[in-house]
Amino acid sequence: MNPTTPDTLVEHLRGALGPTAVLTGPEDTDGYTADWRGAYRGAALAVVRPGSTDEVATVVRLCRKAGVSIVPQGGNTGMCGGGVPDASATQVVLSTTRMRRVREVDPANDAITVDAGVTLDAVHEAARAHGRMFPLTLGSQGSCTIGGNVATNAGGAGVLRYGMMRDLVLGLEVVLPDGQVWDGLRGLRKDNTGYDLKQLFVGAEGTLGIVTAAVLRLFPETPARATVWVALPDLGAGVALLELLKKHAGPRLGAYELVSRTALDLVLEHTVGAHDPFGQSHPWYGLIELEDADDAARLEEVVEAGVGAAFEQELVTDAVVAGSPAQRAALWGLREGISEAQNAVGASLKQDVSVPISSLAAFTADVDAAVEAVLPGVRRVTYGHVGDGNLHYNLSKPDGADDAGLLDASDALTKAVYDVVAAYDGSLSAEHGLGRTKTAAAAAYKDPVELALMRTVKAALDPAGTMNPGVLLA
Amino acid sequence: MNPTTPDTLVEHLRGALGPTAVLTGPEDTDGYTADWRGAYRGAALAVVRPGSTDEVATVVRLCRKAGVSIVPQGGNTGMCGGGVPDASATQVVLSTTRMRRVREVDPANDAITVDAGVTLDAVHEAARAHGRMFPLTLGSQGSCTIGGNVATNAGGAGVLRYGMMRDLVLGLEVVLPDGQVWDGLRGLRKDNTGYDLKQLFVGAEGTLGIVTAAVLRLFPETPARATVWVALPDLGAGVALLELLKKHAGPRLGAYELVSRTALDLVLEHTVGAHDPFGQSHPWYGLIELEDADDAARLEEVVEAGVGAAFEQELVTDAVVAGSPAQRAALWGLREGISEAQNAVGASLKQDVSVPISSLAAFTADVDAAVEAVLPGVRRVTYGHVGDGNLHYNLSKPDGADDAGLLDASDALTKAVYDVVAAYDGSLSAEHGLGRTKTAAAAAYKDPVELALMRTVKAALDPAGTMNPGVLLA
């Protein structure tokens, strides 16, 4: 057999995995070489679809021999282009979507073990079948995969109570850059026998190895809900209300989202059936949800006590409690409709930043001023998972302006936002990762010592630099 | 000035830090060169007590120049000798105990920033002064330090609800092996801008750098408590009861400890004032504690409903609810008195292992048989944080036998325990770390791929190998 080189690699991959697992030609690879939003369109030498961990290891070894780099891809739902190849047509995309086995559910250990290509929805379903719950929820959960959720340390609305994906992973199986398989699929809550290696791979965006399976934490189901929509005089009141609710409800506080009036206006204008719960306009709104195993009536008492105290302190100016599942869905619809409504009004620039919760109001005032100075009239469609200090600080073009103005100013606007984020010791990517979009910006703002440490880790684990190059580190 | 060598190092350290910060001679260093239990007695070239992060960096740079290795030490309360030097008298012990500043409390961000040498008690106190709570609790909290808690990824009784130290750290400041300072003191819940570097240093036992400060998560206080002591027919019932309580109480379940009859017998015999809450003997006991912001009466309803359901399923055979703080303290005393009571009956061999919670009963039956085969009549003083799958599987010498029998058999007994732990995919150090005690054993049982990965990380971050050599990795 010929030596494995870039020229013979496809042939060798076909020999090892079978012809149907190796795709070439734009008609077969187009779905894998561009991201779902169409923001990144690359080209691949091949797209491989291994069906097992051993096959992933085979692909990694063959690519390494050939000196060809690998772009791991899950459901291709990432927000920053970290799962699509560059335009060189020299990279191999490794799609995990054929690896869809739920390997084990262990209810008494509150754990589930799944292949990397299992969708988040499928994990929810498998957990539910055993009277358990997996708390990560994302808009893309029908197609995003656990491997991608691990690689990007996915967040979402449940982080306040359950943490990010990092907090939900008990063990991993990873194919390392040299093709060895690390079997770290342990279902232990406590293990202090050395470096916690799984932490290296969570959030590494495929740059240190390919996650092929994971053991995830499960939790008791919490079907009881109390959902409240409140009006707030300002963002600072929203932060104070959060503090008050944490004290009253403790870990039953499952979600705490804030929505600016600008964001709500877009939803009311562009979402069929959306209506304002209140008769008059308010600067900010909060969506509060308490959850528990049972006794929704008790939850309502708790949240009403908390909101009542907030009324007395003038932190809340109006409030409505969801009286039915339909009303609950309508309130969540106001929050979840923002992204789509924003798309309906033309060009937008979406940011996913975090700062210490205590700085949120001051940060927002400063960044509002900074973007106004760059593009007067720019609309600040601010909302987010404020319980975690995470704002989706999105911008839409000024009312009546054309898209070009915003697009031309986008670099300056992004810099204005990031400068203020840096001044508040915040993060320019709270939950979306770096991918291809934000790698250069992160490098520009990071402490050189930290950046050097990241490079040291990368060079140690992937000395050939073939694992998703250009993503996370330039 | 002379070049920095092992011979001139002490002089250079005195020049840089001042004479009182550098201790030599057994009369001054004895408290730092032996562990608190007297299990390890080493010797040091010097003990340095820097007062600031910059001084730590200076010490690291000087030691590196001299090619002298450093043993970081906090409160010297570790269980595995990871903070004491070897016997060569060539190492420098770096004690953080002069670094005791609470740098900042940010209640609205639920965060506190402290120097590494601040004690755990001092963190509790600073949090309480702002109406907050830091959930890590340990028997040694009056003297153990946050730096040591981070370096060993400390556990304790609150892990079930709040996680281990790893889960409580938002940010770190670390002096790296080359003397550079990494400032990762961010107070963010969400930050996906690269590798989560702090994870490298948590649980690394000082082998990758010296933690000089940390940002820790705070929580609302939960003064309301409901505490119940139950009798169980067997360990399997204890696991089933845990499942049932998690469903009923969710995150309000703050502690779930199991105690074997053998362990309770020792406490009843050797602890002044201890008495059996029940009139007759039972094979196992559970200590359950629910906690919340308020409404202890409601907590009692919840726990009584859970325990009531357990009675019906014959998982529980007797139960007593603490009716006062004094009764609560008495019940906790039965659990917390075990370690001391065990010391009162002569030689013992203490293990700190974990397995998946679902395997606890089968694991315990197997390991009971394995140790009985090694030393007939050996007493199994089993108890632990069963909500995390963590057993303190301790052994005491057979009744009436002398200490020598147990001590002679200790290697064989330990091997018997670890073999069964390995068969159940468990951990031979759930919360105590490896230190000098367990490093060789961990290497013997670990997957070679995992061990090689650990060595890769160590070599990359500490290429000179001067950070706590011999600990965690041989």
Residue B279's contacts (CB-CB under 8 Å, 6 or more residues apart) are none
pLDDT value at position A38?
83
Q: Is A380 helix (H, G, I), strand (E, B) or coil?
A: strand
pLDDT value at position B324?
95
- Paired sense of beta strands B22-23 and A379-385, if any: unpaired
Smallest Cα–Cα separation from B31: which of B86, B63, B75? B75
**Gap from B127 CA to chain A (nearest CA, Å):** 14
Helices (H), A250-390: 261-270, 296-312, 325-336, 338-344, 360-374
Q: Does A9 touch chain B (CB under 8 A)?
A: no
- The stretches in chain A having pLDDT less than 50 are none
Q: What CATH number belongs to A102-220?
A: 3.30.465.10
The Cα B155–Cα B149 span in angstroms is 8
Contacts of B191 in chain A (CB under 8 A): 354, 427, 429-430
Give the one of B163, B191, B453 whose C-beta lies nearest to A430's C-beta: B191
Instruction: Identify the weakest region by mean pLDDT among A289-293, A384-388, B442-446, B453-457.
Output: A384-388
* pLDDT (mean) for B322-340: 95
Q: Does A199 touch chain B (CB under 8 A)?
A: yes
**Inter-chain contact B430–A182, Cβ cutoff 8 Å?**
no
pLDDT value at position A1?
67
**Inter-chain contact B194–A472, Cβ cutoff 8 Å?**
yes
Q: Is the Cβ–Cβ distance between B102 and B114 less than 8 Å? A: yes
Give the one of A196, A220, A358 whose C-beta lies nearest to B246's C-beta: A220
pLDDT band at B2 (very low <50, low <70, confident <90, very high): confident
Q: Does B301 touch chain A (CB under 8 A)?
A: no
CATH 3.30.70.2190 residue spans of chain B = 224-424
Residue with tokens 């001590």: B407
pLDDT value at position B321?
96
* pLDDT (mean) for B183-197: 97
CATH 3.30.465.10 residue spans of chain A = 102-220
Can you give the pTM of this predicted structure?
Answer: 0.97
- A365: exposed, middle or buried (C-beta count within 10 Å: 0-12, 13-18, 19+)? middle
Residue B150's contacts (CB-CB under 8 Å, 6 or more residues apart) are B116, B165, B169, B172, B201, B202, B211, B214
Q: What is the pLDDT of residues B47-103, one digit of tens each?
A: 999 999 999 999 999 999 999 999 999 999 999 999 999 999 999 999 999 999 999
CATH 3.30.43.10 residue spans of chain B = 6-95
| Number of A–B residue contacts, CB under 8 Å | 265
Could you tell me which chain B residue has the CA closest to the CA of A386?
B189
Give the one of A192, A196, A431 whose C-beta lies nearest to B152's C-beta: A192
Task: Name the average pLDDT for chain B.
Answer: 96
Q: Does A461 touch chain B (CB under 8 A)?
A: yes
The answer as to CATH 3.30.43.10 being correct for domain B6-95 is: yes
pLDDT for B386 beyond 90? no
Cβ count near A206 (within 10 Å): 25
Contacts of A434 in chain B (CB under 8 A): 192-194
pLDDT band at B366 (very low <50, low <70, confident <90, very high): very high
Residues A224-424, CATH architecture: 2-Layer Sandwich (3.30)
Give the one of A167, A180, A450 whose C-beta lies nearest to B449's C-beta: A180
Q: Is A147 helix (H, G, I), strand (E, B) or coil?
A: helix
ipTM of predicted assembly, 2 dp: 0.97
**Inter-chain contact A192–B453, Cβ cutoff 8 Å?**
no
